[in-house]
Chains A and B, each alone.
Chain A
């Protein structure tokens, strides 16, 4: 519960509106509450379910990419894609990738965003477009989606995902995008005619949607960072005495932080969707197995309860639960139990959604090919990741030193 309550309190704190806010429930409806506290990023719900941070980041990037591509294919305005990506990002700071499949949420996000941004599209189109994207990604021959029971189920899943997003975001569907701010700022700096500057800043901004900066910084800062990055890239000196961004109440530290986060994005290795799916599937099985075991234990407990309830000295069911909780293995149960229970849980999942079934199907196929090879590959990848991260850090240092050097040069120039 901690993450939520903290999040909630900052929500109330970050209100910048001057009007008095009435607060009856714990929910404050305002258009200014979109930043999350640091603690939320440290322990995300997905991480609590055992997903490592790199995979989570990759999943976010993949989800955002899919929304972006889908939006282009659906001929939606960019603002709808931006809004959709932010819904997806926000949603997974309060729910886990393990429990809610990313693709369904991505579909729900873009669908909801299309409505919020007054360019409604049909669920059917959203599903078709996602189907298409997946085929292209897997380099399969393109075949149309068959309208069958699976399709209907999937459609229901999307509707449910949409509703879940609404509930999870407390209906705060409005997103303040920095696009407009970039235009205004560049007008103020009298660079509105510089198409390259404008376009590249926008590009940086649209890419930034894949990072967490929109959850961390106000749009003003992001707008400044995008202009800052672009100015640097094309070697355009901007006023620095006083610094141009001080005009917009933004500090250089924040700008650098945002810029670094955006630049890190370009250093990441390409996301391999199948690997991510495998990882999530594995954790989902563990999660479901756990749930199953827990339910079984509860069943036993409740039986025990009934028995104990007859004797007057019986402890309460809560005590029992606390006891059982203690001897649970943390995070990952032994492998044997994982595989043992996975096929059990499969049966109950089969009835739930065809979408899941499809994923399962693909993962099963992989497994039958060679589970060991898969494992090796993922291990290899993990090493790669590590390597990647190290080089990234190096790059960061380089960036930092370079940027400070640039700054010095700039100062000298002026």
Chain B
């Protein structure tokens, strides 16, 4: 009889008056009372507002019930593909976030679950619980009242590159760099977020070529090598995104907003020049090089076109280095951090003072549409499907830990 009262079983027992359905009730109660000591219940947080939405699921702002001041962000794990169990993408995100602990990477506090009850057919929902960040960069940039000084822009970029340096040195690719995934706390600390597409990478050895899916990164921030079908890519894909975000700090809207892959390539060529084997040795070997229509004879006008916005010459130069067509020539995070841009006056300065003027949270999701005529570029906005399913057909051979 001890068995029933064994250590970890619920001590609360069934109290039911109806005897006909008791067996079922017993079972239900048993399941409902089940405890998982390492996986807390989500009811310890109280949802306050929805702050994001996409194919990855929903994100909520929530308050810890045991302390009114502690806010968290809860990201729901979408379990639409029940047939294959717990989604591998969510597993990756969890595993990666458990590994990455850095000031400029969003902090995963824990994973919570809802109770298994009759209402959810005894399938609990999981939430990833993060430290709450007040703003995201897309939200801040879409608000005309938020003005960044040059020093502040430098600080943002410095933190962004610091975060990238950290994740790349841990052999992780973010694969979804964009302004909406760059969070900023009210104290001005930048955090890279949304590792839903991230994965570990290995440096390809001779004879062994990586085969990652190339259907990653939001289209507007997608580098040319991915658009041309490269499956053996690496950290430079994130650096291209960093370049796009950097330009956006001045232009205030994404610099290349192509509606299709083809259009995006054309926009890139118009800015960075034609993709030719001269400027980019090896480009001719990429899968889609002959299948996509590539504008010929385009000149590189990165500095020329961005100068009206980015008045700082060092800034222009760094942008030019980040928006290199050839991934091999693109600056890595370390080199970028050593660029004169960060080491000349005005030096990077803290964001806290500027942000103190704004008391309201700014998220892209909550911001009014800033470009009439354009689709708001949420994940679900059609133009850039996040191919979580497509991820699974690439072959995985590498591992980091």
1/0 contact trace for B3-17 toward A, CB 8 Å?
A: 111111000011111
Q: Which residues of A contact B14 (CB under 8 A)?
A: 295, 298-299, 302
Docked-complex contact A294 and B13, CB < 8 angstroms: yes
**CA of A8 to CA of B224, assembled, Å:** 48
- Given A79-B399, A329-B1: A123 touches B99 (CB 8 Å cut-off): no
- Given A45-B8, A167-B39, A169-B38: A290 touches B3 (CB 8 Å cut-off): yes
Q: How many residues of B contact A (CB 8 A)?
A: 55
Docked-complex contact B84 and A27, CB < 8 angstroms: no
Extra pairs beyond A26-B37, A291-B3 (6, CB < 8 Å): A45-B6, A45-B8, A48-B2, A163-B124, A174-B95, A299-B14
Interface: B22 (CB within 8 A)? yes
**CA of A72 to CA of B85, assembled, Å:** 22
Q: Which residues of B contact A22 (CB under 8 A)?
A: 107, 109, 131
Q: Which has the most chain B C-beta neighbours within 10 Å: A122, A166, A293? A: A166
Interface: B19 (CB within 8 A)? yes
Q: Which residues of B contact A266 (CB under 8 A)?
A: none
- Shortest B131–chain A CB gap in Å is 8
Residue from A94, A119, A287 within 8 A of B8 (CB atoms): A94
Query: In this complex, what residue of A is CB-closest to B200?
Result: A118
Interface: A277 (CB within 8 A)? no
Q: Which residues of A contact B22 (CB under 8 A)?
A: 295, 299
**CA of A295 to CA of B27, assembled, Å:** 10
- Give 21 CB contacts A-B under 8 Å: A4-B8, A24-B64, A24-B70, A25-B44, A25-B110, A50-B3, A79-B399, A98-B3, A112-B86, A112-B91, A120-B396, A158-B85, A159-B82, A167-B38, A170-B38, A170-B110, A170-B111, A171-B38, A176-B401, A299-B19, A333-B1
1/0 contact trace for B168-208 toward A, CB 8 Å?
A: 00000000000000000000000000000001100000000
Docked-complex contact B396 and A119, CB < 8 angstroms: yes
Q: Which residues of B contact A294 (CB under 8 A)?
A: 1, 4, 13
Q: Which residues of A contact B113 (CB under 8 A)?
A: 167
Interface: A137 (CB within 8 A)? no
- Given A115-B91, A328-B1: A306 touches B38 (CB 8 Å cut-off): no
Interface residues, chain B, CB within 8 Å of chain A? 1-8, 13-17, 19, 22-23, 26, 30, 36-40, 44, 64, 70, 82-86, 88, 91-92, 94-95, 98-99, 101, 107-111, 113, 123-124, 131, 199-200, 392, 396, 398-399, 401
Query: In this complex, what residue of A is CB-closest to B96?
Result: A174
- Shortest A39–chain B CB gap in Å is 12
- Shortest B168–chain A CB gap in Å is 18
Interface residues of A in 169-190 (CB under 8 A from B): 169-174, 176
